[in-house]
Structure 1
Amino acid sequence: MELLSPVEFFKFVSRVLTRFRHNQGILLSGAIAYYTLFSLIPLVALLLVVLSALVPEAELLAVVDAELRMIVPWQAELITAQLASFLSHREVIGWVGGVILLFASSLAFTALENAMSVIFFHRVEIHRRHFLLSAVIPYLYIVALGVGLLMLTLLAGVLQSVESMEFSLLQWTISLQWLAQSGLYWMGLVGVWLMFSSIYWVMPVGRISLRPVLIGGAVATLLWEGMRHLLVYYFSTISFADAVYGSLATAIIALFSLEMAGIILLLGAQVIAELEYVRQQDGGLATG
């Protein structure tokens, strides 16, 4: 697929938005937001309980807080505090509680897989996924998220050790604090990109080429980064949700922000689906 001209690019964007509306993308994102709100804290809590046997809790919570600020920045502090409280009382959970947490953590992935089957309906017509594989994928993905969180924690530890370092050049003393801070930011951004891309690679049925997956992940990451700053500004300066919803404001804001994330996630998936359609058209023209 060659680079698109400006006119072709805007036509492509128009087709993506049209198909997204036809697929009821906003309605699907609402379902994803609801189940993600239900699953987010159990999922992260479960990962923290397992990884705390390998890495100090304080380092894990610091990395989780940094990642949450990339996803739900206005709720990150509250969620991190809740997770810290959970870790301090994790001995009361037991095996039964662990199984319940594991089940609750998988609900968001089930909703996401169903939404992806709508966006990639052309794949569902050709491919079928065994129901046992669909049942196992959420738990495999939870394991993969745990590995990713462990790697991010180790990298964050390296960057924090660099933060306190200084070196002299002629008569200037240069601190590496800026390098550590920018490194943490870019590490979080790359983590979001890899998360989006992995979802696009795993959740749809059939095999997807890596290039459109990475493109869709990049589109979703850039859209979310812009939306994240916009929502932070809105909720910190303009919003009067507290006055309208009172004690429900926290849940309403969290649900709204997760729905925005769901819309962007599904828009990235729609971009990939449209890229596949364009490639199929180009292939048909070439063979014709």
Structure 2
Amino acid sequence: MKLFNRRALAYVGTHPMDFLLQCLKGFRANQGLLLAGAVAYYSLLSIVPLLMLMMVALSHFISQAELLATVGRYLNWLVPGQSKPIVEEVGHFLDHRDLVGGVLVVSMIFFSSLAFTVLENAMCVIFKHRVAIRRRRFLISAIMPYCFILSLGAGMLIVTLVAGSLQVLGEESVWLFGYSWSLSGVSGVLLYMLGLVGEVLVLTAIYLVMPVGRLSLSHALIGGVTAALLWEVARHILVWYFSTLSQVNVVYGSMTTAIIVMFSLEIGATLLLFGAQVISEFERVGKAPYRRTAQPMTTQAVQK
């Protein structure tokens, strides 16, 4: 199997601006901002129940303090500067988890899967050329969100173990040329790279599984790297903006945290779907003939 489509690579290499413009036109035609708003809204509903379920399951293997520290560190990648209140809520839930009943657990499982369901529907709009050929069975669509939750739980377990080892490494020092060199800087760089690699892998897994049909691993990796790099730029801009220029706390008061989290999720969902649009256009470029005009998503019935 070829790693990349040569026709697509040749087109993107010779017409990078045309390809970018076509991605933007396709994203606008598919009403990407509207889809991102739906994904962000349901992600806001899902994030706390999902974290609670994962923490309850993983607390049987790892200490609660270490889990919360790891979640707080990497939750900043998703909601920059607003991980503390979310981690506090999860910590309060873990302190009273013995009082949790079966009805609450079932409702948490349901709400934690909503974001994946809406994301799958958004992917169907962006990859409509795949949906026109074949459709996914209902049973697979129903099971997929819970498989993602299990996969995220396993990934969180691995990340927590690796992050703990890197933190221990940061407390060590090396004697070289008569000087003691602390490894704290190396540990910080490795923790950052661990988060970045984990982000790329999660995005690649989403692009690999969510669209209908078999998607090439190389294409999914292109979308994952694109979305991850764009989010890294946006994340640093958000941190700078909310710490220096923003007056959102004056306008919204006690609702500040929810507004900032929603805004961050909106931008993240937009970049996630734009990465999917890049994959979709890359697939179309690799097939001849390639139409440059984007086909808009219609919301009204076609009149005869």
Q: TM-score range by the shorter chain?
A: over 0.9
| SS in structure 2 of the partner of residue 39 of structure 1 | helix
Matched, 1:63 2:49: no
Give unpaired runs (5+ residues) of structure 1.
284-288
Within-5 A mapping of 1:34-73: 34-73=41-80
Q: Distance in 1 between matches of 2:12 and 2:114?
A: 41
Q: Distance in 2 between matches of 1:54 and 1:150?
A: 9
Matched, 1:202 2:209: yes
Matched, 1:119 2:129: no
Q: Distance in 1 between matches of 2:16 and 2:174?
A: 48
Q: Distance in 1 between matches of 2:12 and 2:25?
A: 20
Q: Which has the higher helix share?
A: 1
Is the Cα–Cα contact under 8 Å of residues 80 and 264 in structure 2 kept in the other structure?
no
**More divergent stretch after superposition (161-170 vs 29-38):** 161-170
Structure 1 residue aligned with 2:248, among 241, 252, 258?
241
Q: Distance in 1 between matches of 2:10 and 2:69?
A: 41
Q: Distance in 2 between matches of 1:9 and 1:159?
A: 39
Structure 1 segments (4+ residues) deviating >3 Å? 2-7
Cα RMSD over matched residues?
A: 1.5
Matched, 1:272 2:298: no
Deviation, 1:191, is 1.2
Q: What's 2:263 paired with?
A: 256
Q: Distance in 2 between matches of 1:162 and 1:242?
A: 38
Q: Distance in 2 between matches of 1:138 and 1:263?
A: 20
| SS in structure 2 of the partner of residue 10 of structure 1 | helix
Matched, 1:168 2:175: yes
Q: 1:101 to 1:8 in 2, by over 3 A?
A: same
Within-5 A mapping of 1:122-133: 122-133=129-140
Identity between Structure 1 and Structure 2 (%): 49
Q: Distance in 2 between matches of 1:50 and 1:113?
A: 25
Is the Cα–Cα contact under 8 Å of residues 27 and 277 in structure 2 kept in the other structure?
yes
TM-score, normalization: structure 2?
0.90
Is the Cα–Cα contact under 8 Å of residues 66 and 188 in structure 1 kept in the other structure?
no
Is the Cα–Cα contact under 8 Å of residues 39 and 108 in structure 1 kept in the other structure?
yes
Letter in 2 for 1:111: V
Is the Cα–Cα contact under 8 Å of residues 29 and 266 in structure 1 kept in the other structure?
yes
TM-score, normalization: structure 1?
0.95
| SS in structure 1 of the partner of residue 120 of structure 2 | helix
- Report which structure shows greater RCO (CA 8 Å, sep ≥6): 2
Give unpaired runs (5+ residues) of structure 2.
1-5, 291-304
Q: 1:81 to 1:217 in 2, by over 3 A?
A: same
Is the Cα–Cα contact under 8 Å of residues 73 and 232 in structure 1 kept in the other structure?
yes
Letter in 1 for 2:154: V
| SS in structure 1 of the partner of residue 113 of structure 2 | helix
